[in-house]
């Protein structure tokens, strides 16, 4: 038979749609054309496939070879189709049984010597192949990542020759060993909150942020523990559930980052430098790639020195902070990536860092301070639920302070508060929609009046209004309270200090 079809999977964002690789052999002048791949990829793939087939001891057909990758309009890149193209050619030319391709999918780049090289995006492909109930043949280097898809039948292949032996039934390929996943190990890499002394208000805000998934901004002079606090957030969050962990691992997979099964349930924490470009932060590139916000999906994004980020770069965070995803459009191509991250940001109160310090060390002019804080737009600050000042504590007091509660103790309260939210809404408070807020964050008449007065006085936007309600709901959940009471609302309002007045005024 001079026609064969091998199945594979493309990679579009975190999706892995099916691709049919059809190979047709005909008479006429020998030559190979590949339809449905971009030109450069075609040329490279053709050369690798030809060399791999020959070095594996097979014959490259001396006929007119037409390879078609369908659907044609699906964007395709890279070497991931080498293996199915080579197998299609071998099947169409009668060198391996055509039927052996049925019920299987193939993914992998070939070296000129016929070894299989790793490709990106194997985990999404494994999940979808599993859902389609087909075996997926993957390069050996991608085996541990593919094994995370517990629904999938995975065959690990070192080379084209080994795949052919598998398909002929001569020597079956092995399946990856399943790694036992230990939720406790997910915190081994996170420092403990017990290291942070004093700063009760900031610790409390961190706990509320963790309990409800809220965004947090820490404002204070250098050396007061802002970075310490921010890097300890992941340790007071519950480990990822399996579905969340798969989503987070899928982003790493398509970004070409190693997916470590022993760290599978660990909440990602990303801390990009303030020189990061918009593409690095939110994703981009001619072949859309995920950025830091997607690598922080289901985890924390820590932006230290927030005003030092390019303002246009920060503005790109606005949409994903609301929607939990990001759509990257480049010319004809579009890709959507998940980006449900929790933002923790830190900043100095002024360029020198000492504004508001009782020592009076700050020499910044009110103008300089105003310019500094104006780098953060109102709409961005709106989306940060909790603003908290982290004051300087005298060294002696810091040494004398007893170590704070450890992460495990705080995490137990966070987990209990999250359980209440999940029972009520199926998600944490931060991701409640406006209608859900109206239904689930009801206030008594007096508290409603208190909130409305505060909105006027603080000049809160409609968005900030909803966020205050959600934070109040989380504080009530930490308290085990069925309804939001006045102290919960008052505390939530106390975390909007940057809406209250410009920081230049605060410093004065």
Residues forming the site for Mg ion (CB under 5 A): 226-227
Question: Are 373 and 307 in contact, with CB atoms under 8 Å apart?
Answer: yes
Q: Taking the C-alpha atoms of 147, 149, 153 and 157 in order, what is their torsion angle to the nearest 10 degrees? A: -40
Question: Read out DSSP for 375-416?
Answer: TS-HHHHHT--EEEE-----HHHHHHSPB---HHHHHHHHHH
Binding mask 343-362 for Zn ion (x = CB under 5 A): -------x-x-xx------x
The answer to whether 484 touches 441, Cβ cutoff 8 Å, is yes
Q: Does 370 participate in binding Zn ion (rule CB under 5 A)?
A: no
Give least dist CB 282 to ligand ADP, A.
24
* Residue 232 binding partner per list ligand ADP, Mg ion, Zn ion, none, with a CB distance cut-off of 5 to 8 Å that depends on partner kind: none
Nearer to Zn ion, 341 or 372 (CB): 372
Nearer to ligand ADP, 93 or 224 (CB): 224
> What residue 224 binds from Mg ion, Zn ion, ligand ADP, none (CB within 5 to 8 A, per partner kind)?
ligand ADP
Going 4 to 7 to 11 to 16, the CA torsion angle's sign is positive
Residue 364 contacts Zn ion per CB under 5 A: yes
Minimal distance, residue 391 CB to ligand ADP, in Å: 10
Question: Binding residues for Zn ion, how many (CB under 5 A)?
Answer: 6
**Cβ at position 395, least distance to ligand ADP in Å:** 9
| Residues 141/70, Cβ–Cβ less than 8 Å | no
Please choose which of Mg ion, Zn ion, ligand ADP, none residue 196 contacts, taking the beta carbon within 5 to 8 angstroms, the exact cut-off set by kind.
ligand ADP
Q: Which residue has tokens 């830091």?
A: 292
Please list the helix, strand and coil fractions of the chain in percent, rounded to the nearest 5, in that order: 45, 15, 40
- Residue number with CB closer to ligand ADP (382 or 389): 389
Phi, psi dihedrals of residue 463, rounded to the nearest 5°: -65, -45
User: Judged by CB, which is closer to ligand ADP: 223, or 241?
Assistant: 223
At residue 31, φ and ψ (nearest 5 deg) are 165, 160
Q: How many Å apart are CA 417 and CA 480, to the nearest integer?
A: 7
Minimum CB separation from Mg ion for residue 305, in Å?
A: 8
Q: Are 315 and 284 in contact (CB under 8 A)?
A: no
Tell me which of Mg ion, Zn ion, ligand ADP, none is bound by residue 350, counting a contact when its beta carbon lies within the kind-specific cut-off of 5 to 8 angstroms.
Zn ion
Nearer to Zn ion, 190 or 364 (CB): 364
Interatomic CA distance for residues 130 and 136, integer angstroms: 8
Which residue number, 31 or 223, has a Cβ lying nearer to ligand ADP? Answer: 223
Q: Considering the rule CB under 5 A, would residue 469 count as an interface residue with Zn ion? A: no
The CB-of-223 to Mg ion minimum distance in angstroms stands at 8
User: 283-284 and 289-290 as β-strands: parallel, antiparallel, unpaired?
Assistant: antiparallel
Which residue is at the shortest CB distance from Mg ion?
227
Q: Which is nearer to Zn ion, 152 or 350 (CB)?
A: 350
Nearer to Zn ion, 102 or 508 (CB): 508
If DSSP states are collapsed to H, E and C, what string results for 424-452? HHCCCHHHCCHHHHHHHCCCCHHHHHHHH
Token pair of 448 as six digits: 């409603």
Residue 364 partner contact from ligand ADP, Zn ion, Mg ion, none using kind-dependent CB cut-offs of 5 to 8 Å: Zn ion
Q: Give me the least distance between CB of 369 and ligand ADP, in Å please.
A: 18
Asked whether the CA dihedral 105, 109, 111, 115 is positive or negative, the reply is negative
**Cα 477 to Cα 261: distance, rounded to the nearest angstrom:** 33
Residues at the interface with ligand ADP (CB under 6 A): 196-199, 220, 222-228, 346, 398
At its nearest, how many Å lie between ligand ADP and the CB of residue 498? 17
- Contact positions vs Zn ion (CB under 5 A): 350, 352, 354-355, 362, 364
């Amino acid at each position: 038979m001079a026609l064969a079809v091998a199945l594979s999977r493309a990679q579009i964002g975190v999706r892995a749609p099916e691709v049919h690789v059809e190979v047709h052999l005909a008479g006429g002048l020998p030559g190979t054309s590949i339809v449905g791949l971009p030109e450069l990829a075609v040329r490279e793939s053709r050369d690798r496939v030809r060399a791999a087939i020959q070095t594996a001891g097979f014959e490259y057909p001396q006929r007119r070879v037409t390879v078609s990758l369908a659907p044609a309009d699906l964007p395709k890149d890279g070497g991931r189709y080498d293996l199915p193209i080579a197998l299609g050619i071998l099947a169409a030319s009668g060198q391996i049984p055509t039927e052996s391709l049925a019920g299987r999918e193939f993914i992998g780049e070939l070296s000129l010597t016929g070894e299989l090289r790793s490709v990106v995006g194997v985990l999404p492909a494994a999940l979808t192949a599993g859902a389609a109930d087909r075996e997926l043949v993957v390069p050996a280097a991608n085996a541990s990542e593919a094994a995370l898809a517990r629904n999938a039948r995975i065959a690990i292949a070192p080379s084209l020759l080994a795949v052919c032996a598998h398909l002929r039934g001569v020597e079956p390929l092995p399946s990856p060993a399943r790694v036992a996943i230990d939720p406790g190990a997910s915190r081994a890499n996170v420092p403990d909150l017990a290291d942070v002394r004093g700063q009760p208000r900031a610790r409390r805000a961190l706990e509320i942020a963790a309990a409800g998934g809220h965004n947090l901004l820490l404002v204070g002079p250098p050396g007061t523990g802002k970075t310490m606090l921010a890097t300890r957030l992941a340790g007071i969050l519950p480990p990822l559930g399996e579905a969340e962990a798969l989503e987070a691992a899928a982003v790493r997979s398509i970004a070409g980052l190693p997916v470590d099964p022993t760290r599978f349930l660990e909440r990602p924490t990303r801390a990009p430098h303030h020189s990061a470009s918009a593409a690095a932060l939110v994703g981009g590139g001619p072949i859309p790639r995920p950025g830091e916000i997607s690598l922080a999906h289901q985890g924390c994004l820590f932006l230290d020195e927030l005003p030092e980020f390019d303002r246009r770069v920060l503005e790109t965070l606005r949409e994903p902070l609301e929607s939990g995803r990001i759509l990257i459009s480049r010319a004809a191509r579009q890709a959507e990536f998940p980006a449900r991250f929790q933002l923790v940001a830190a900043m100095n109160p002024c360029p020198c860092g000492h504004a508001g310090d009782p020592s009076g060390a700050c020499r910044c002019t009110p103008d300089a301070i105003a310019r500094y804080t104006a780098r953060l737009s109102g709409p961005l600050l709106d989306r940060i639920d909790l603003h908290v000042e982290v004051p300087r504590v005298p060294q002696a007091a810091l040494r004398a302070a007893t170590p704070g509660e450890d992460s495990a103790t705080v995490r137990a309260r966070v987990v209990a508060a999250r359980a209440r939210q999940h029972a009520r809404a199926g998600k944490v408070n931060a991701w409640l929609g406006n209608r859900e807020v109206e239904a689930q964050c009801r206030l008594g008449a007096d508290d409603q009046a208190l909130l409305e007065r505060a909105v006027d006085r603080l000049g809160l936007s409609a968005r900030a209004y909803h966020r205050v309600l959600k934070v109040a709901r989380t504080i009530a959940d930490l308290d085990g309270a069925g309804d939001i009471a006045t102290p919960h609302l008052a505390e939530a309002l106390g975390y909007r200090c940057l809406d209250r007045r410009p920081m230049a005024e605060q410093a004065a």
